[in-house]
Amino acid sequence: MQEVILLKDGELILKGLNRPQFEHKLFKNIRRVLQNVGDFSIEQAQSIVYVSAENESAFLDIAYKKLQKVFGISAISRACVVEKDMQAIEKAAPLYLEKEAKGARTFKVAAKRADKRFAYKSPEIARKVADAVGEVFPHLEADMKNPELLITVEIRDTAAYIHGNSVPGAGGMPAGSCGRASVLISGGIDSPVASYMMARRGMGITAVHFATPPYTSPRATTKVMQLLKIVSVYSGPIACFVVPFTKLQEQIRANCREEFFTILLRRFMMRASTRIAIAQDCAALITGESIGQVASQTIEAITCTEAASSLPVLRPLIGMDKEEIIRISRRIETYETSILPYEDCCTVFTPRHPRTKPRIEEVEREEARFDFAPLLDEAVQNAEKTVICPE
Ligand code: ATP
Ligand code: MG
């Protein structure tokens, strides 16, 4: 029996005249995800994308799993393709859906007739298929409101398609369809989740990571790369810039008041990231900040960090609890890597009593205690670029 994967467009449906552009990106992303899985044909009719294997070397099972991580898709199902003949459809439905039917107690059949030349109308098709399935699986009871198994029969121009329950797609907008932003990525739990969330809204991702060797271990940077590799499965390839921040941090420590260390470091991170972001055509920065989570994330501290960047700073986690963030990180599979013990910020530079309500005038006064401009230039110039691609 020939099988295809059906993908339902998500929010693209709302995009009116711009829709072709979004669909173009979605197709490109689908092709990218399937490039090593075999030869597939990808076609679209109305708001459904049909992915079918061109030959036997294409693995539908793998494709089905991979497509569940592609943004811009609201639901995914596997369907069998049947000739447009009522008897053939009645025969194929119980055969193709055997496993699902055995596992369910209630069912319903919905039919859609896109090809109006087909001799039977939708309610008749649904009734006939329901009878055929009910005959083979007499334990199944009809439930029109909340069926455990929803069987859908679609009569299209070229063929009929039969499928059982859909699984949810990754939602959001096609990666890369809504501009590009640069994420300040640490090895923690939050910033990978923040990257994922903005990629889900269709943003292409560039990453900036600050390293403080020899105070921080090279394993911390490796860990960041591993995290970005997981994020890239969703977002597509990510260019990551690792910026050496040791000299700058040492100068902060030598010249400034300890309680301001963290907020000063954050502001220098913002400045360096803004420069890299602009050079990389990014329209915004992304951070994993969440109000009140730590001393540097009070609204007063965020006001001071924000003032150091001329770009909008997107903080998708700002109103979320740690528990909610952890739940997402488990789901997207960054959690296990994030909790590995290699710290990316050394305790040598962490103040014992950080200022929780810094005022911008005070912070600027601290910054004026040393000439940071050449150090910042040097750090940005020495940033090392690595392009990270999904497996
Ligand atoms: P995360 O879990 O993302 O590390 P966090 O809760 O540990 O966040 P902070 O350490 O205060 O919070 O960092 C706040 C944000 O600053 C991070 O989410 C990240 O966007 C950015 N950031 C922190 N450290 C670095 C770093 N070494 N390189 C790049 N960005 C960083
Ligand atoms: Mg952190």
Average pLDDT for 169-180: 94
The residue range of the domain holding 80 is: 3-168
- Measured in Å, residue 179 CA sits from the centre of ligand 1 at 23
**Which residues have a Cβ under 8 Å from the Cβ of 35 and sit 6 or more positions away?**
none
Could you give the percent of the chain with pLDDT greater than 90? 84
72 part of a folded domain: yes
- Measured in Å, residue 306 CA sits from the centre of ligand 2 at 17
**Burial state string for 122-135 with b = 16 or more CB within 10 A and e = fewer than 16:** eeebbebbbebbbe
Average pLDDT for 215-221: 91
Residue closest via CA to ligand 1's atom 24 equals 186
Same domain, 218 and 127: no
113: phi then psi, degrees, rounded to nearest 5: -115, 95
Q: State the closest ligand 1 atom to the C-alpha of 187, by its place in the atom list counted from 1.
A: 4
Residue closest via CA to ligand 1's atom 12 equals 289
Separation of alpha carbons 211 and 391, rounded Å = 25
Q: If you search the block for the tokens 């007499």, which residue do you land on?
A: 138
CATH of the domain at 26: 3.30.2130.30
Final residue of a structural domain among 141, 168, 195? 168
User: Using 50, 70 and 90 to split pLDDT, how confident is the model at 286?
Assistant: very high
For the segment 324-357, what is each residue's pLDDT rounded down to a tens digit?
999 999 999 999 999 998 776 666 688 888 888 9
Final residue of a structural domain among 116, 135, 168? 168
Same domain, 127 and 227: no
Instruction: Using DSSP, state whether 85 is helix, strand or coil.
Output: coil
Which ligand is nearest to the Cα of residue 302, counting in written order? 1
User: Using 50, 70 and 90 to split pLDDT, how confident is the model at 121?
Assistant: very high
CATH of the domain at 318: 3.40.50.620
Judge if the beta carbon of residue 186 lies within 6 A of ligand 1: yes
What is the strand order of the sheet 204-211 is part of? 313-314, 284-286, 180-184, 204-211, 238-244, 384-388
Same domain, 85 and 186: no
Judge if the beta carbon of residue 288 lies within 6 A of ligand 1: yes
290 part of a folded domain: yes
76 part of a folded domain: yes
In this model, does residue 385 exceed pLDDT 90? yes
Same domain, 138 and 204: no
Residue closest via CA to ligand 1's atom 11 equals 296
Q: Are 50 and 6 in contact (CB under 8 A)?
A: yes
14 part of a folded domain: yes
Alpha carbon of 328 to those of 11, 196, 220, 322, 335: distances in Å?
21, 9, 22, 10, 9
Judge if the beta carbon of residue 209 lies within 6 A of ligand 1: yes
Same domain, 251 and 149: no
Same domain, 225 and 308: yes
Could you write out the DSSP letters of every residue in 368-385? TTS--HHHHHHHHHT-EE
For the segment 15-64, what is each residue's pLDDT rounded down to a tens digit?
777 788 888 999 999 999 999 898 999 998 877 899 998 887 779 999 99
Closest to 322 in 3D by CA, of 193, 187, 172: 193
> What pLDDT shows up at residue 151?
98
User: Using 50, 70 and 90 to split pLDDT, how confident is the model at 79?
Assistant: very high
Final residue of a structural domain among 140, 168, 196? 168
Q: Which residues fall inside 5 Å of ion ligand 2, going by CB?
A: 186, 188
Separation of alpha carbons 2 and 308, rounded Å = 58
Same domain, 37 and 186: no
- Mutation probe of ligand 1 site: the residue of 184, 267, 320 with most atoms within 8 A of C-beta: 184
- Mutation probe of ligand 1 site: the residue of 182, 185, 189, 191 with most atoms within 8 A of C-beta: 191
Same domain, 373 and 233: yes
In this model, does residue 294 exceed pLDDT 90? no
- Measured in Å, residue 286 CA sits from the centre of ligand 2 at 14
For the segment 183-194, what is each residue's pLDDT rounded down to a tens digit?
999 999 999 999
The greatest distance separating any two alpha carbons of the chain, rounded to the nearest whole angstrom, comes to 84
Q: How many domains does the chain have?
A: 2
112 part of a folded domain: yes
Judge if the beta carbon of residue 345 lies within 6 A of ligand 1: yes
> What pLDDT shows up at residue 219?
92
224 part of a folded domain: yes
Same domain, 154 and 76: yes
82 part of a folded domain: yes
173 part of a folded domain: no
- Measured in Å, residue 239 CA sits from the centre of ligand 2 at 20
Judge if the beta carbon of residue 262 lies within 6 A of ligand 1: no
Judge if the beta carbon of residue 184 lies within 6 A of ligand 1: yes
Closest to 238 in 3D by CA, of 268, 289, 203, 213: 203
> What pLDDT shows up at residue 350?
86
Judge if the beta carbon of residue 289 lies within 6 A of ligand 1: yes
Same domain, 152 and 93: yes
- Mutation probe of ligand 1 site: the residue of 182, 183, 189, 190 with most atoms within 8 A of C-beta: 190
In this model, does residue 87 exceed pLDDT 80? yes
Predicted TM-score of the model (pTM) = 0.91
Which ligand is nearest to the Cα of residue 346, counting in written order? 1
Could you write out the DSSP letters of every residue in 331-349? HTT-HHHHTSS--SS-GGG
Average pLDDT for 88-93: 97
User: Using 50, 70 and 90 to split pLDDT, how confident is the model at 11?
Assistant: confident
Same domain, 201 and 128: no
Share in percent of the chain as helix, strand, coil (round to 5): 45, 20, 35
Same domain, 90 and 207: no
User: Using 50, 70 and 90 to split pLDDT, how confident is the model at 209?
Assistant: very high
- Measured in Å, residue 187 CA sits from the centre of ligand 2 at 6
Higher pLDDT, 229 or 348: 229
- Measured in Å, residue 273 CA sits from the centre of ligand 2 at 16
